[in-house]
């Protein structure tokens, strides 16, 4: 296993170098590292907002950009994939998540740009998978002030009154990696059970 801090400017390059030495090429990049934090930017101090901005944008935005850039030279020349994990927060944000939602909008824009810029040059496709709330330990332990908002999402989700399971999001990512998905490029795929339809 290789570990690197994607919040640093050299972390993505470390990962790319190890992949290059061990495997020579990379078939699939899933940009799934991310940070999240609640912040009422109207009442938080400048120091709090600046710290959260640096922390969240450093991983979600810059980390995604630099890791993608670092692996471009080693992408497999036949049907490689770049899959960015976004969030429905970029289109349907919850309260006090403006920094996080902004970074997920950034990732969505990266996908649209890269889906135009990279496929012919690097023989890849670029897509965004955008889950809604996923039943992770962190989310299930969220404070009541936030979990109450999320329960509203449960109640209006047409598929079922629950959060997504991690394996349901992983399945969508895996399908995009299949050879048969070679014509799917520049897509934004919500994995929400239809929560944003109402």
**Cα(16)–Cα(73) distance, integer angstroms:** 9
Is the torsion defined by CA of 172, 174, 176, 180 positive or negative? Answer: negative
Mean pLDDT of 145-165: 79
Comparison of pLDDT for 78 and 1, the residue scoring more: 78
Q: What is the pLDDT of residues 91-130, one digit of tens each?
A: 988 888 999 999 999 999 999 999 999 999 999 999 999 9
Q: Quote the pLDDT of residue 163.
A: 84
Which pLDDT score, from 0 to 100, does residue 95 have?
Answer: 85
In this prediction, residue 198 carries a pLDDT of 59
Host domain of residue 88: 11-191
Q: Return the H-helix or E-strand segment holding 177.
A: helix 166-177
Q: Is residue 186 scored above 70 in pLDDT?
A: yes
- d(Cα 194, Cα 156) in Å, to the nearest integer? 9
For range 151-160, the mean pLDDT: 80
Q: Which two tokens stand for residue 35?
A: 């940070």
If one compares 136 and 166, the residue with the highest pLDDT of the two is 166
Evaluate whether residue 4 is within a structural domain.
no
pLDDT band, very low/low/confident/very high, at 184 (cuts 50, 70, 90)? very high
- pTM value is 0.93
The confidence band for 26, taking pLDDT boundaries of 50, 70 and 90, is: very high
Measured on CA atoms in the order 57, 60, 62, 65, is the torsion positive or negative?
A: negative
196, part of any domain: no
- Do 88 and 192 contact (CB within 8 A), yes or no? yes
Q: Is residue 1 part of a domain?
A: no
Q: Residue 39: is its pLDDT beyond 80? A: yes
What is the arithmetic mean of pLDDT over 53-62? 96
CATH no. for residue 20? 3.40.50.720
DSSP assignment of 99-139 equals HHHHHHHHHHHHHHHHHHHSHHHHSEEEEEEEE--B--HHH
| Residue recorded with tokens 């969508």 | 172
Total domain count for the chain? 1
Residue at 5 is within a domain: no
Strand order in the sheet with 28-31: 28-31, 80-85, 124-131, 188-191
Percent of the chain with pLDDT over 70: 99
Query: Is residue 141, in this structure, part of any structural domain at all?
Result: yes
């Amino acid at each position: 296993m290789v570990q690197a801090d994607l919040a640093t400017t050299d972390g993505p390059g470390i990962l790319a170098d190890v992949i290059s030495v061990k495997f020579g090429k990379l078939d699939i990049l899933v940009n799934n590292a991310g940070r999240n934090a609640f912040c009422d930017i109207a009442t938080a101090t400048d120091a709090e907002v600046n710290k959260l901005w640096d922390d969240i944008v450093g991983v979600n935005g810059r980390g995604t950009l630099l890791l993608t850039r670092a692996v471009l030279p080693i992408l497999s020349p036949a049907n490689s994939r770049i899959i960015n994990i976004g969030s429905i927060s970029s289109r349907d944000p919850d309260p006090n998540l403006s920094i996080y939602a902004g970074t997920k909008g950034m990732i969505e824009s990266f996908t649209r740009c890269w889906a135009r810029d990279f496929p012919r040059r690097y023989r890849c496709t670029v897509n965004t998978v955008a889950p809604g709330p996923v039943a992770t330990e962190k989310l299930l332990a969220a404070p009541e002030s936030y979990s109450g908002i999320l329960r509203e999402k449960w109640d209006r989700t047409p598929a079922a009154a629950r959060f997504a399971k991690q394996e349901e999001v992983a399945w969508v990512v895996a399908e995009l990696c299949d050879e048969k998905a070679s014509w799917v490029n520049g897509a934004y795929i919500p994995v929400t059970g239809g929560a944003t339809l109402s």
